[in-house]
Structure 1
Amino acid sequence: TGQPSAVDFYQRLRKHGLKVFFHHAIPDYPNDLDMIVSAQGFGANDYIPVTRQLVVVTGPGPCSGKMGTCLSQIYHEFENGSCARYAKFETFPVWNLPLDHPLNHAYEAATADLRDYNALDNFHYDAYKIVAVNYNRDLQAFPLLRALLNRITGSNDGYQSPTDMGVNCIISGIIDDKYVQTAAKQEIVRRFLQYEADFRLGRTATDGAVIRASEIMQKANVTIADRKVLTAAREAARDCESRHKGDAGIYCGAAMQLHNGDLVTGKNSPLLHSAASMILNAVKHLANIPDSQFILLPEIVSSVANFKYGLGSNSRVGLDLSETLIVLVVSASRDIYAQKALACLPQLAQCDVHLSHYPSRGDEAGLRHLGCSYTYDPVMPTKNLFV
């Protein structure tokens, strides 16, 4: 339709040598089936030539045109005398787990901003007398999808339900349901904290996702108190303040739960951000290094701090997590304790982390690099943190 953003994106892709195909607006879509399944409908879209029998169609997210692309291709294939079909690779919801299983609740939490909800697939039960779980958008779209496929193929022998067209074998990979339920409940709390932070920090205009996630937490019978690292991080920040530590009247705490269940905390100081302190404490704990043992060489820390101060961009020179990891790598070339600590970093992947404050760019980049599952309180690290 000549959208400037679409034209710009097309030109960028072409400059990178990528082939680009267009879909066009179809009048009265999705109501006029005669128009949709015609040369002026799907037939007006570009045909995408393929050489493989199995083709994967992916997109950046929901409502990105994946199903429309598949239907258009199926139309063209049948017009060219070929028989084509499509199936959806569905991760969630898990159709053969109970509707109220925490894993299915976690899917609802992950899409709270879209207001997706799970429901029983009445089409599947009518066809097979088997209870199956699906979600609202697929259930709402299925009558139209079935009508379009029947019109394109000229047959009623296709899918009888949304569950039919989904490929989902997740339940075969669950060997410890109790562990999965626990992990799913943690994910629900993580999503709630993420939505709350986005709203309170102004990233989203309304609190709709926060309210929806709160409702899901009630269904799953979980609260933020079930996230142990949250409680530990807030306690670390309060302890930091009560001891008059911190940095220039700013008191921050961070907490990590290791895979063996141990909790490790960190507090900010003039030298380190709380996230950096927490990571150093975690690897020292894993490497059995005494708390009193330094693993960052003082001369390297001093050089980095002086460099930051010399830039003049910030009067505080405490190292964030990304900077601390670099100092640790350099220190490991000359110090045996730093080498042992560095070797333990991979064990932090997928560990739960919570910060009592909004993370700096360097802290967030470091946590992502380590593969930690982190959340944070939507509070800027100012002197008024606990007012």
Structure 2
Amino acid sequence: MVFKIGFDNEKYLQEQSREILERVKMFNNKLYLEFGGKIMYDYHAARVLPGFDPNVKMRLLQMIKDNAEVIMCIYAGDIEKRKIRADFGVSYDADTMRTIDDFTDRGVTVRAVVITRFNGQPAAEAFKNKLERRGVKVYTHGFTKGYPTDVDTIVSPEGYGKNAFIETEKPIVVVTGPGPGSGKFATCLSQLYHENQRGVNAGYAKFETFPIWNLPLKHLVNVAYESATCDLKDVNMMDNFHFEAYGEVAVNYNRDLEAFPLVKRIIEKITGQPSVYKSPTDMGVNRAGFGIIDDDAVQEASKQEIIRRYYRYACDYAMGIASEETAQRAEMIMKNIGAKPSDRVVSEYAKKAAFDAKVNDKGNEGVYSGAAIELKNGEFVTGSNSPFLHAASAMVLNAVKKLAGIPKEIPLIPDHITEMVAHLKQNIFMRGNVSLDVEETLIALAISAAYNPSAAFAMEKLKDLRGCEVHLTHIPTPGDEMGLRKLGVNATSEPEFATNHLVNA
């Protein structure tokens, strides 16, 4: 499938920055803007809105940085449990520190970090100490007394009043975090309470890309959001509050709709006046829908993402990460749009590669794995496993050979290098499997490139794999998964393990 642009970043930036700056004028020039989703590296948005810059929201903040600063939230329980951000394989606390660096490098002020629902957790305390000793201001907020039903207690010195007030200077305060449940919303309302106690009529708004409120309920972009949040059980719904207030159709999701009456009551209690918001859609500032320039391209990209999510949750279930209900929900969403796994064409090429390997007895110890990649020009390249290479490793080498115009039979990595790496793994690390995973293969390729011009030329083609579609016939090993992630490909796999070994190395 040749890549087609469906989204205009510049149009989106103009629309979005104007909307935020208009919103802050409504609230005495002080707006707490809850940023849902990912500010940096939003690859879900990039996959369903082809052409969307994964870092466009950071570019947005850079545009308004003279008027904006950031508060980072992280839930103490996520620090304690070492919760992992799935797309990067890094913990939430490490991701928070990296995000602070990203903001700082781009000239966006990070005012403070808030550890939410803090109750003396040792790991959270250690994280606090680490940040403070590096010069980062850190606050801790506990559980809000009375939440969620007792509004009088929530909005009182015993509720939000118990939280320390975070001093800010700029009109727009972006409140963000590494993932859902980080405490962004509670932090915004706590700040609203303290601002109003100080006579500042501050306001609240919400920035979330999905679901896109002005697209149809069953538009595949919105369905892809449901698929991506199967584990959260998010369901897109018509915003009945918005329709009753304005007679206009708008799309929101169940959690926002369920919470709106309570949120409205809390805001009205804080401000002492009727809320300017008549619906949860009113609270949002999302203008992503206005950046779509090719709906057909967006619909097809979203369909492919729904299939990817089916594979993802099926594998997570096989590995014990996701529930059976979550995996079944992802499958149901895929079937409801009339899609099937084979619509991800690259998966069929991977299966054929495994089949051919078995027919020709070219696997490793009775295991026959296949991998395939769809290049940006629509060509498919495959690989299969061998005693010295994983299937994904062979696929990567074959792909860069193709892009570099190097014949497939010419080796990029000399035998003596693979043999020495195998010796290291087997005789020094004492590992049974000597076959090179993707990470190891990339290192071996870099070593070979030092004195082999063909390998050096091929290595430069690795960057052309970013954004390509990849499928494996077996769940990748950690080294394969990390290597493919670094290459920036969109990888899926069948929910099958390559061997019966419980530790897949």
With the length of structure 2 as denominator, give the TM-score of the two structures: 0.73
Secondary structure in structure 2 of the residue aligned to 1:239: helix
Q: Which residue of 1 aligns with 2:368?
A: 251
1:181 and 2:299 correspond: yes
Greater fraction strand = 2
Cα offsets for 1:41-69 (capped at 9, x unmatched): 21122111112221111123223221111
CA contact (8 A) 2:393 2:441 kept: yes
Letter in 2 for 1:59: G
Matching residue of 1:123: 241
The reply on whether 1:212 has 2:323 as its aligned counterpart is no
Shift of 1:156: 1.5
Superposed structure 1 runs of 4+ greater than 3 Å apart: 1-4, 24-28
- Name which of 378, 392, 401 aligns with 1:261: 378
Match of 1:10 in 2: 125
- Alpha carbons 2:350, 2:372 under 8 Å: kept: yes
Where does 1:211-230 land on structure 2 (aligned, <5 Å)? 211-230=328-347
CA shift at 1:312, angstroms? 5.5
Q: Write out per-residue CA displacement over residues 50-96 of structure 1, whole angstroms, 9 at most, x where no aligned residue.
A: 12221111123223221111111001001001121121111100011
Shift of 1:286: 1.1
Q: Which residue of 1 aligns with 2:286?
A: 168
- The equivalent position to 1:368 in structure 2, one of 472, 485, 492, is 485
What CA distance in whole angstroms lies between the structure 1 residues aligned with 2:123 and 2:424?
A: 41
User: Paired residue for 2:167?
Assistant: 49
- Correspondence 1:321 to 2:438: yes
Q: Once the two structures are superposed, what CA deviation does each residue of 1:232-255 show, in whole Å capped at 9, x if it has no partner?
A: 112211111111111121111111
Note the alpha carbon deviations across 1:351-386, whole angstroms, 9 max, x for none.
1111111212211111011011111122221289xx
Confirm or deny: 8 A CA contact 1:249 1:383 kept in the other structure.
no
1:232–1:50 Cα change, 3 Å: same
- Segment drifting more, 208-217 vs 12-21: 12-21
Superposed counterparts of 1:14-163, under 5 Å? 14-17=129-132, 18-163=136-281
> How far, CA to CA, are the matches of 1:286 and 1:169 in structure 2?
38
- d(CA) in 2 for partners of 1:92 and 1:146? 21
120-129 vs 132-141, greater mean Cα deviation:
120-129
Inter-partner Cα distance in structure 1 for 2:317 and 2:500? 22
- Report the number of matched residues: 382
199 and 98 in structure 1: CA distance in 2 versus 1, 3 angstrom threshold = same
Shift of 1:271: 1.9
Select 1:339's aligned residue among 443, 456, 459. Answer: 456
Deviations 1:12-39 (A, max 9, x none): 3123314332333344322222222222
1-structure distance, mates of 2:367, 2:129: 50
Alignment match, 1:232: 349
1:297 and 2:400 matched: no
Q: Give percent identity, aligned residues only.
A: 48
Of 309, 312, 321, the match for 1:203: 321
Describe the superposition over 1:299-337 as per-residue Cα deviations: whole angstroms up to 9, x where unpaired: 322322222232252344221111111111121121221
Structure 1 unaligned residues grouped into runs of 5+: none
Larger radius of gyration: 1
Task: Report the CA distance between 1:184 and its aligned residue.
Answer: 0.8
CA drift of 1:228 comes to 1.1
| Equivalence for 2:423 | 306
